[in-house]
Structures are given as C-alpha cells and as structure tokens.
Amino acid sequence: MGNCFLHGNGGRNPLNFDVVQYASEADLPESAEGNTIAVFTNVDITGWHFSAKQPENMKQGAVWFKTVTASDIAFNAIKKDEIRLCIESVSQYIDGELIAQNAAIYQNGKWTNMEILVPYEYQRVEYLQSSGTQFIWTGVNTNDCYGLVLDVQSLTYAENKWFAGNWNTQSMAIGMAPSNNFQISVGGSDDVFVPFDMERHTMGFKGDKYIFDNMDLANVPNYANAKVNQNIPLFTRLTVGDQYFTAPSMRLFRAKMYDANENLIRDFVPCYRKFDSVAGLWDRVNKVFYTNSGSGTFMTGADV
C-alpha cells in the first residue's frame, strides 16, 4: 500500500480525513468528502490509529493504519509542499488479533482501492539481497511469460551472472553480459546491451518492448525463440540440462511478471515473515509467500 497517501497542506487543503465503515466495495456511495477512508468490515469500528508501530492496548474493533517509516518523497514547508501520510497496511483488532482488512480512499473525485503490499503477518523491507547462492522459483514457465520487469541493483560486476531467467537453446534472461554490460535477452535475436554500473535500475521486457529505465529502446523481444518450457527463477538464471545456476550478488527491490495479454501474473514484494523472520518475496497477485530455494540466507534491506 506504499503508494496510498493522505495529503493536504496548511492552507487551502488542510489534512482532513474521515474513517467510515462499509461491508464491501459494492456498498460504497458514489461520492464522498476528499480523504474519506472506507474500511471494509462487518465488525464495528470503535476507533483508529495512525502509526508505524503497533499501538498498545488496542480495543475490540479499533483499526490500525500502519504508516511507513521511511519515504523518498521530500517535504519542503517553505515551498508549501503537500503533507503526505503514506499508509502501508490496514488491520483491525478483532477478538484479540489483528486482522488485515481491505480499504478504499476517496480522492480526486473517485474511490481508489488501498491494496495491501504485504499482509500484516509480514514486514516489508527495502530489498532482498543475495550473496550468489540464494534464488527463488517464480512458478512461471517461459512459455507463459511475456513480461519480466525487475527493480534491481547489482553489487558487483561478474560476466555471465544473471538476475533472473532461463537459458536453453535460447534465453529469456536479464543479467550481466561480457564486456561490462547489462544484457536483456528474449529469444536472442535482438538483445539489449547497456553499460554496467552498480546503481539501481528498472530493467526487463514487457509485451513487444524491452525496458531499461526510461531509455527508448527499438529492440524487440523474440518470444517464439524463448519458449523452452522451463520454470523461471529470480536471483539467478537456470541453464537447462546440467541445472547450472549463474547467480550474482544483487539486491531486488521489486519484480513483476506478465502474461500474453500483459496481465500482471506476479508482483513480488520483498519482506520477511514475522513469526520466524524468514525473508522472501510476497506475491500480491496470488497472495503467496516465496522463500529461498538455494542455500544460505537472504539479507534484507531496512524495514519500510
């Protein structure tokens, strides 16, 4: 829910908001006051808290709007920037437990679902960091994959080490090529090469486009060549035949995968499971937590 904001400023748009209860999305009124938050629950809301840390002594029915502890959005009072409150998740205290709830916010004349990035049982982190021995299976086959976009940072240059993908007779892979380049390859006929650095980048492919930050790339993915009927891992590339993995040391901030109609089929968010502190990726689409299939332990970035 990291992109969900309450906002206002000290002048014309003070930070006013209201919290209301509806049984479901279907019950929402056509319009409402700006910054009205509708929580979908059948349990009466008895109060609410906005905090990064879980409030103590919550009462039955109280709603906790978990706010993020860090944000890249700058605030400058002199420039009269908007004050923004970024909400990470919504949960309600029911019968002694915090239960994740869906919610919507009315802003700019419409209701927007406040989709949860990770459920309450997980703690979102900036990134997962691998040392070169960890990887995660996505459960997506190369034959069904028409988009893989990574928000990624390599921590070292190493020729022929890959952030994700598969190689058989042809490749569907994103990683580091020879001669100090990033390489994005789908089918191997028109690959993208970009000079390597150790900064964070968005890279991959989606539909008929390759993606590397905001570059305008004319290269075209060749999906027909890349259909090798193999599962795609993240944090490494699987070379079929000898099960040879080529994993770098890297940070993954987010990963998204798409089908032939450009529907989102995986949306991986880095986090760790609170009860046992195991780090992994929460898939927002299928609501499944994916953990390490390699060896060692993922390092995590800071809690967010």
Partner 1 sequence: MRKVYIDSDFVCHADYAEGRTAVETSALDKVCDSALRFYIYVPNGSTHKKSNGITVKGEFVQCMNSKSADIAQREYERRLLADLQANSISISELESAYQEGVNSAYG
- Residue 71 touches partner 1, criterion: CB under 8 A: no
In whole angstroms, give the CA distance from residue 114 to residue 119.
12
Q: Which of 5, 93, 127, 212 binds partner 1 (CB under 8 A)?
A: 127
In whole angstroms, give the CA distance from residue 14 to residue 35.
11
- Residue 296 touches partner 1, criterion: CB under 8 A: yes
- Residue 119 touches partner 1, criterion: CB under 8 A: no
Residue 19 Cβ, how far from partner 1 at the closest point, in Å? Answer: 23
Count of CB atoms situated within 10 Å of the CB of 131: 17
- Residue 277 touches partner 1, criterion: CB under 8 A: yes
- Residue 60 touches partner 1, criterion: CB under 8 A: no
Q: Which of 155, 194, 217, 240 binds partner 1 (CB under 8 A)?
A: 155
Q: Which of 21, 67, 171, 300 binds partner 1 (CB under 8 A)?
A: 300
- Using CB under 8 A as the binding criterion, the count of chain residues that bind partner 1 stands at 28
Would you say 142 or 154 has its CB closer to partner 1?
Answer: 154
Q: CA dist 92 to 43, 59, 62, 83, 175, Å? A: 9, 9, 6, 25, 42
Q: Which of 24, 29, 53, 293 binds partner 1 (CB under 8 A)?
A: 53
Contact set for partner 1, span 186-215 (CB under 8 A): 198
- Residue 123 touches partner 1, criterion: CB under 8 A: yes
| Sole window of 77-85, 160-168, 214-222, 296-304 interacting with partner 1 (rule: CB under 8 A) | 296-304
- Residue 54 touches partner 1, criterion: CB under 8 A: yes
Q: Is residue 248 a contact partner of residue 132, using CB atoms and an 8 Å limit? A: yes
- Residue 299 touches partner 1, criterion: CB under 8 A: yes
Residue 60 Cβ, how far from partner 1 at the closest point, in Å? Answer: 21
Q: Which residue has the tokens 């990963």?
A: 255
Q: Which of 125, 176, 232, 257 binds partner 1 (CB under 8 A)?
A: 125
Contact set for partner 1, span 257-276 (CB under 8 A): 272, 274, 276
Q: Which of 168, 225, 249, 291 binds partner 1 (CB under 8 A)?
A: 249
Would you say 127 or 212 has its CB closer to partner 1?
Answer: 127
Q: Which residues bind partner 1 (CB under 8 A)?
A: 52-54, 69, 123, 125-127, 129, 131, 155-156, 198, 249, 251, 272, 274, 276-277, 279, 296-303
